[in-house]
Amino acid sequence: MHDIRVGTEDVFKRQLELAARNYELLQNRKVRAFNVMGAIGSGKTLLILRLAERLKDKGLRVGAIAGDVAGDDDYQRFAAAGLVAANLNTGDDCHLDAHRVGHALEDFPLGEVDVLFIENVGNLVCPADFPLGTEGELVVISVTEGDDMVRKHPKIFAQTDVLAVNKVDLAGFVGVDPMVLVDDYRRLNPHGKVVLTDARSGRGVDELLGALGL
């Protein structure tokens, strides 16, 4: 038995190249894009809708790509709210990747939007490994998932620079102190910005816009 050194191409290299290509395309078309990740049902879609309302008031045109394993519910909600929307089903993949998003961008009317939200598949595990080529990333969790969400999925929080802790209106009902989540996040990501939001009433949404640099 003997050992041979081989050097195959890094399997993420192509993803990174495709992400860089998406980034360049978005920059050239002057579209500011954001990868919205987060737990299932944490309020990603509703927060995007709230952010879009504020951006529209500022005279900006907003688009959204709804990434889901199956179905077009989120796409329908974006479209009904008047956003330029596209649906992106992953089949059975648990995350979006730069390749899929690249094809979605080819078909998307980028000339009609200034800001584009790409809603990732609800999942706190792997979307962090797959940069899409957006200028910013946001991860959304809600208090109803419990106060240990950051501790249970530390890597995505260590790598994502904006966190929304959503559904703070329900914190008292579920007996969760949102500050536990905030403190855990701050320890993992000293450069990150964290905002408490209630997407139903719109509380915290302006602050979240600021955290995203919008």
Partner 1 sequence: MHEYSLAHALLQALTDHLREHPVRGRIRAVHVRKGELLILSEEALAEAWRILAEGTAAAGSELQIERVPVKVRCGSCGYAGPVRYSTDEGWHFAVPVLSCPRCGGRAEVVEGRELAIVGLSVDEDSSEAG
Q: Footprint of ligand GTP on this chain (CB under 6 A)?
A: 38, 40-46, 74, 122, 166-167, 169-170, 198-200
Calpha distance 100→123 (Å, rounded): 17
Calpha distance 189→162 (Å, rounded): 10
Q: Which of residues 58-117 bind Mg ion (CB under 5 A)?
A: 74
Contact with partner 1 (CB under 8 A) among 42, 45, 87, 189: 189
Which of 103, 107, 19, 20 has its CA nearest to residue 63?
107
46 binds, among Zn ion, ligand GTP, partner 1, none (CB under 5 to 8 A by kind): ligand GTP
The H or E element that residue 88 is part of is strand 84-89
The site string for partner 1 over 11-50 (x = CB under 8 A, - otherwise) reads xx--------------------------------------
Six token digits for residue 208? 């979240």
- CA distance to 44, 89, 132, 143, 181, per residue, from 178 (Å): 17, 32, 29, 6, 5
Calpha distance 13→32 (Å, rounded): 24
The region of 21-29, 43-51, 62-70, 92-100 touching partner 1 under the rule CB under 8 A is 92-100
The reply on whether position 188 binds partner 1 by CB under 8 A is: yes
Shortest distance, position 189 Cβ to partner 1, whole Å:
7
CA dihedral 101, 106, 112, 114 (to 10 degrees): 40
* Residue (94 or 174) nearer to Zn ion, CB: 94
Which of 189, 196, 187 has its CA nearest to residue 164?
196
120 binds, among Zn ion, Mg ion, partner 1, none (CB under 5 to 8 A by kind): none
1 binds, among ligand GTP, partner 1, Mg ion, none (CB under 5 to 8 A by kind): partner 1
Q: Which of residues 61-120 bind Zn ion (CB under 5 A)?
A: 94-95
The reply on whether position 212 binds partner 1 by CB under 8 A is: no
* Residue (175 or 190) nearer to partner 1, CB: 190
The H or E element that residue 53 is part of is helix 44-57
The reply on whether position 8 binds partner 1 by CB under 8 A is: yes
